[in-house]
Structure 1
Amino acid sequence: MDIPGLETVQGDFIAANNSLLTTLSSSTFSVITGTVLFQNLPFLTNLTLPNWISSGTLHFDTVPEPTVHDFQQNGQQVNNLIVRNTTFAFLAGLALQGAQMDTLEIVDNPFLQIVNLQMGNISQSATITGSSADLVVMLPNLTYAYELNILNGSQVVLPRLQAVNGGMSIGSIKSPNVSAPALTFVGGDLDISDCGLSELDMNQLVNVQGSVNLENNAQLADLSGLSTLSVVGGLTTLPSLRRVQGNALISSTQALNCSDISSTLVQGTYTCHAASTSSTASPLHHGLTGGAIGGIVVGIVVALAILAAGISILYRRQQRGGREAQQQQEQSRVVEDPVHEVGTQQRRRDPAEKDGNAIFEVPGKWPDRGELPGSQSQPNEGGPGKSRAPYHAMDVWDGVSGSKIHFDSVDQQQTGLLDAVAEMIPGSRFQASRRKYEVEDVGVATMCENANTTSALLQRLHELDEERSKDRLIFDMLEKTRVESIDLGPESKDKESLDLSQWPIVTTSHGRIAARLLVGADGANSPVRQFADIPSPGWDYNQHGVVATLDLDQQSTAQNLRTAYQRFLPTGPVALLPLPGNKASLVWSTTPQHAAKLKTLSRPDFTAAVNAAFRLMPVDISYMLSPTSTTSPTDELAWRENATPAASTGLPRNFPRIASVQEGSIASFPLRMRHADTYTGHRIALIGDAAHTIHPLAGQGLNLGLADAEYLAQRIAYGVDHGMDVGSCWTLDGYNSDRWAKNNAVIGVVDKLSKIYGVGSGPVVWGRSAGVEVLERLGTLKGWMMGAAAGVK
């Protein structure tokens, strides 16, 4: 049978159950999207497909070895390769180098002598069994596999294999040597049994999450081929381990000195049937099994996401202190919206301490963000609900023109085509009919004190650790630990030592850690980014952010504030964000000179200046904060407010009056934009402020960091599921390309907004005001903007 002219098959190609077919050829076949099946063709001796490139599945079942064939060397991509019940003697070529294959199944081929395939990655399973006792298995480019099982044969060669995510089993191999010199990680059991081994070459293997079984290898007298193995999650009989998380049983029919293996390194029961008796080990302190992470909110979030995927990590919680730490926190004290992050000076005690009710301490008053609340309420008295403040609307207005826009949850729900059409016909019956479908007010965003956010995340981190660590170590936290340096590890001096020359080695005050993946969530001055030598270009804004906690006037605010307010002044935006207990958080972006003046004011004068920022014209505010002003802001506000109609400033109706500022809550920090050239390096990933810093006017800093954490965790989980090295470019490149582009777009928009609203007169003011007035009428577009800002659209 010859099939001329056909190039592509959108589906399956099946040749089956034909006892007459001897020749099958096509000079034009190139792509078959589905399954290629050759089944039950007992006399097929000529198979010629010289231009075949790819197929979904290539399946041979009950066919002879073709005496003439021309297809294997040209194949480039096969998702699944199945060879069953054939008389093949050789299975070679298939030119799959660099490709990812889902399944490799070579079963019950009694005459098969050579398997030599070039794929680079097997994402599901590889099984080679039931072949000739003389079978030689060569997978020279295989780097990652999910499951790997090779049974029966004479030799196995895996020179580039680095990681097996599940179990790895090699059995009944006659060769005196099993070689996987690059293998570092096995996620399940490692079983090498019933072989003729006298030598085992796995000198870079560090971590086996399951058990290690080397039964019935009578010639294997030396275990130096496992010289670097340091972590085993199940039963083992290997010497010189630094940790056994389960029970250890050491037995030998010959003389054995049990004292060579320290029982203190075994977490469970240590039993030795030889020169010494059994003993029970003391508990083992947790150590590194996966990666190292530093940071606070964003760092904890990525730790939680990675743990939720079932991956072991080490998390280093930052220790703050001294002048350098205070300078760093001054740069990071930013309020984010709709989920808010308030940087801290870390003068508080550790919220994860297990001493009573340190988790979710609910404040009686809202002090400086650098301190824990003074009062300690029981969770059932205050609870986390009282430590957060949802708000249901947001009013934003231009301090020069008075143009304004109102956001609420109704806008957030109007995102469909019919809503857009209704908005174009103001006052119409159609618009009225659409409003019948409005659902209840679900709120725009929520303010939460950083101390409580961090406490809740740490609490969940420990809960997840307890839930999942019954059988194996998954999480280790180093607290009160200072990173002293980050360097590359030493090169391998001989084949018996682990090559750490491309691994980041973190030197801490408690020791050294080699990280398969080092995630830098360590802030704008990231030591991890500096170690990776990743440039982070950008510029400083001529602005400082002034933050404080304010008490609201009880008469002007009968209940907790339910609206957030932001006014754009030529010197920068000023925002009032709700807190529980009739309080609010202030974030005021202004010139460095004005920021310095504000920090020198008395509490009554500071309160007057904040009221003026929302109620007076920009020229009045600038005069009050100028060095030449001789009158106190309190006195200036009293007469200037009476002379300034509220309508001329755009002040919303029901805007609350500020009663006072809480003592010790005023702080400031410089505003700057930075964006790293890349988020990844070799075994390095950056998230949050380590990767990007942004102007706080849109409240996107924490949102971008959380999105980084989510996507990085997804990429790591994908890599583990597909047998990939979590620190490799294969795993991390997708994170870098996706998040860098999305973050760059947001950073660009926010930067442009800050520049547009920094103009105090001229056509720019007219243009932005006209745009705001149009936008105010388009609830659907406003809803889309709110969703985008919240990270859900």
Structure 2
Amino acid sequence: MAAMKYFVPALAVAGRAAAQCSVAATSTIQNAGDASALASCSTFSGSIAIATGTTGEIAIDGVQEITGSLSATNVEELTGITGDSLETIGGTFNLDTVQILSTLNFPRLTDVRAIEWNALAGLQGLVFTSGIQMASTLSIQNTQLNTLDGINLQTAETVYIANNDYLNDITMQIGNVSDSLVLTSNGRNVSANFPNLIWGNVMTFRNCSTVSVPSLASTNGSLGFYSNFFQSLVAPNLTMVGGDLSFANNDDMTNITMPQLQTVTGGLQIANNTELNAIGFSSLETVGGAVSFVGSYETVSLPELSNVRGAFRLASTSDISSACTKFRAMHGNSGVIRGNFVCRSGSGSSGTSTSNGDDSSDGGSSSSSSSGSSSSSTDGTSGASTVYVSGATALMGVVAAIFGML
């Protein structure tokens, strides 16, 4: 890493209306006077770091562009950073462990290559009047922010927003996320609103009270919803998930609506959503991996399902015997469900087996025969009976591998 050096007077270029300033290495600001010396620079070519011993507020006024990064790390007495003219930061806007920082005022800032903020215990709001619209990376962690007003990205590669306990509104007009979008452990009532989000790669939503993705059409990677607080998830335009689609431990969720979803390239998992009574995907045709539905749901509707390349498992404490019968018929010779089939119903239902197998990995036992006789048994822990159809022997290892979450 290039050696840090203290700020030297800006180099004015004679004959120009605005000075051009440049340094070979990162310049370090120690006080307000160092910052004021930059006022004649419209463009600062290089990076600026705020020294750890800096106190009070630093005003980087007059500068319109910083071609490198702007950073402050472990600056214990820094209360604010402002810049009345700054529009562009060509590198990273990095703030890490600046505990009493309470003011970020950049009314004209719109373009930053990367925002990386962490451990800003005093930062509750932003003054970004024009709004940051361009950033390839946005990472905001462990702040006191209660809103992201002033950050309204149009596109991004990575968005990671986590552990901001007072953040209750995440709203952006972003249209696509090419790498990953992760929201986790923010305010208890956080609403995640992405009205223009059409496409993403990997997207994960945790601990959200509302998730709104009305325009989402497809993902290249996985889409997961874990331990959220919303009652309903609606994605009216989603047609394809390019990886796994997962809903797990969303205790208040009563409804999943994805009327146009046709393809899940990976696995489809719905598990331990205690208030979810019905599972239905009216247009779903293909699941490239395994299907696993576990919980207390009562009905399953997949009217267009024609190709499941992995295993298929239904397990509910409610009576799902009719679903067991329906999907068992889609296994084996029908070619719809190609992997192992397991169905467990809390009603004491029974089913027909197509080959020998062992269901002991599900917490109980069942007998099955290749002659097509029915088999059922009582689960020692839940009282549920097992309906089991297997396409292979040694089921315990297969199920454990595919459904290790149970």
Same fold (TM over 0.5): yes
Residue 220, structure 1, aligned to residue 294, structure 2: no
Which residue, out of 185, 203, 206, partners 1:151?
206
1:167 to partner: Cα distance: 0.9
CA contact (8 A) 2:157 2:177 kept: yes
Which residue, out of 201, 204, 207, partners 2:257?
201
Q: Tell which deviates more after alignment, 241-250 or 173-182.
A: 241-250
Higher relative contact order (CA 8 A, sep 6+): 1
CA contact (8 A) 1:153 1:173 kept: yes
CA contact (8 A) 2:286 2:307 kept: yes
Match of 2:257, as an amino acid?
D
Match of 1:167 in 2: 222
CA contact (8 A) 1:48 1:68 kept: no
Return the alpha-carbon distance in structure 2 between the equivalents of residues 269 and 66 of structure 1.
Answer: 53
Which residue, out of 309, 317, 321, partners 1:253?
317
Match of 2:343, as an amino acid?
C
* Cα deviation 1:196-242 (Å, max 9, x = unaligned): 11111211111111111111112111223x21111111221454222
Match of 2:338, as an amino acid?
Q
1:12 to partner: Cα distance: 0.7
Residue 120, structure 1, aligned to residue 185, structure 2: no
* Cα deviation 1:50-87 (Å, max 9, x = unaligned): 11120110111111354563216521201100001111
Which residue, out of 66, 69, 74, partners 1:12?
69
Q: What does residue range 268-279 of structure 1 map to in structure 2 within 5 Å?
A: 268-274=339-345, 275-279=349-353
Match of 1:60, as an amino acid?
W
User: SS of 1:220's equivalent?
Assistant: coil
* Cα deviation 1:552-598 (Å, max 9, x = unaligned): xxxxxxxxxxxxxxxxxxxxxxxxxxxxxxxxxxxxxxxxxxxxxxx
User: SS of 1:59's equivalent?
Assistant: strand
Residue 267, structure 1, aligned to residue 333, structure 2: no
Residue 42, structure 1, aligned to residue 42, structure 2: no
Return the alpha-carbon distance in structure 1 between the equivalents of residues 66 and 94 of structure 2.
Answer: 13
Q: Which has the larger radius of gyration?
A: 1
CA contact (8 A) 2:124 2:145 kept: no
1:185 to partner: Cα distance: 0.8
Return the alpha-carbon distance in structure 2 between the equivalents of residues 65 and 92 of structure 1.
Answer: 17
Residue 64, structure 1, aligned to residue 121, structure 2: yes
User: SS of 2:77's equivalent?
Assistant: coil
Kindly tell me: are residues 37 and 278 of structure 1, through their superposed partners in 2, closer, same or farther at Cα, counting changes over 3 Å? farther
CA contact (8 A) 1:269 1:280 kept: no
User: SS of 1:183's equivalent?
Assistant: coil
CA contact (8 A) 1:94 1:118 kept: no
Kindly tell me: are residues 68 and 155 of structure 1, through their superposed partners in 2, closer, same or farther at Cα, counting changes over 3 Å? closer
User: SS of 1:260's equivalent?
Assistant: helix
Match of 1:774 in 2: none
Kindly tell me: are residues 68 and 182 of structure 1, through their superposed partners in 2, closer, same or farther at Cα, counting changes over 3 Å? closer
Return the alpha-carbon distance in structure 1 between the equivalents of residues 103 and 339 of structure 2.
Answer: 61
Return the alpha-carbon distance in structure 1 between the equivalents of residues 350 and 286 of structure 2.
Answer: 24
Match of 1:54 in 2: 111
CA contact (8 A) 1:270 1:279 kept: no
The TM-score, its normalising length taken from structure 1, stands at 0.34
Q: What does residue range 353-372 of structure 1 map to in structure 2 within 5 Å?
A: none
Match of 1:271, as an amino acid?
V
1:131 to partner: Cα distance: 1.6
Kindly tell me: are residues 36 and 267 of structure 1, through their superposed partners in 2, closer, same or farther at Cα, counting changes over 3 Å? same
Which residue, out of 148, 158, 161, partners 1:91?
148
Match of 1:172, as an amino acid?
S
Match of 1:245, as an amino acid?
R
Match of 1:606 in 2: none
Which residue, out of 307, 310, 315, partners 1:243?
307
CA contact (8 A) 2:125 2:147 kept: no
CA contact (8 A) 1:271 1:279 kept: no
CA contact (8 A) 1:204 1:228 kept: yes
Return the alpha-carbon distance in structure 2 between the equivalents of residues 129 and 9 of structure 1.
Answer: 31
Unmatched 5+ stretches in structure 2: 1-57, 294-299, 356-406
Q: What does residue range 233-632 of structure 1 map to in structure 2 within 5 Å?
A: 233-236=288-291, 237=293, 239-240=301-302, 241-255=305-319, 256-257=321-322, 258-261=324-327, 262-263=329-330, 264=334, 265-274=336-345, 275-280=349-354
Kindly tell me: are residues 68 and 163 of structure 1, through their superposed partners in 2, closer, same or farther at Cα, counting changes over 3 Å? closer
Residue 27, structure 1, aligned to residue 101, structure 2: no
Return the alpha-carbon distance in structure 1 between the equivalents of residues 160 and 317 of structure 2.
Answer: 39
Kindly tell me: are residues 102 and 72 of structure 1, through their superposed partners in 2, closer, same or farther at Cα, counting changes over 3 Å? farther
Unmatched 5+ stretches in structure 1: 282-793
Match of 1:81, as an amino acid?
L
Kindly tell me: are residues 108 and 69 of structure 1, through their superposed partners in 2, closer, same or farther at Cα, counting changes over 3 Å? closer
Match of 1:627 in 2: none
Match of 1:107 in 2: 162
Kindly tell me: are residues 185 and 77 of structure 1, through their superposed partners in 2, closer, same or farther at Cα, counting changes over 3 Å? same
Return the alpha-carbon distance in structure 2 between the equivalents of residues 187 and 214 of structure 1.
Answer: 17
CA-atom RMSD in angstroms: 1.9
Match of 2:325, as an amino acid?
S
Structure with higher strand content = 2
Kindly tell me: are residues 280 and 10 of structure 1, through their superposed partners in 2, closer, same or farther at Cα, counting changes over 3 Å? farther
Q: What does residue range 740-779 of structure 1 map to in structure 2 within 5 Å?
A: none
Match of 1:210 in 2: 266
Structure with higher helix content = 1
CA contact (8 A) 2:152 2:171 kept: no
Return the alpha-carbon distance in structure 2 between the equivalents of residues 242 and 142 of structure 1.
Answer: 29
1:280 to partner: Cα distance: 4.5
Residue 187, structure 1, aligned to residue 242, structure 2: yes
Return the alpha-carbon distance in structure 2 between the equivalents of residues 72 and 250 of structure 1.
Answer: 52
CA contact (8 A) 1:93 1:117 kept: no
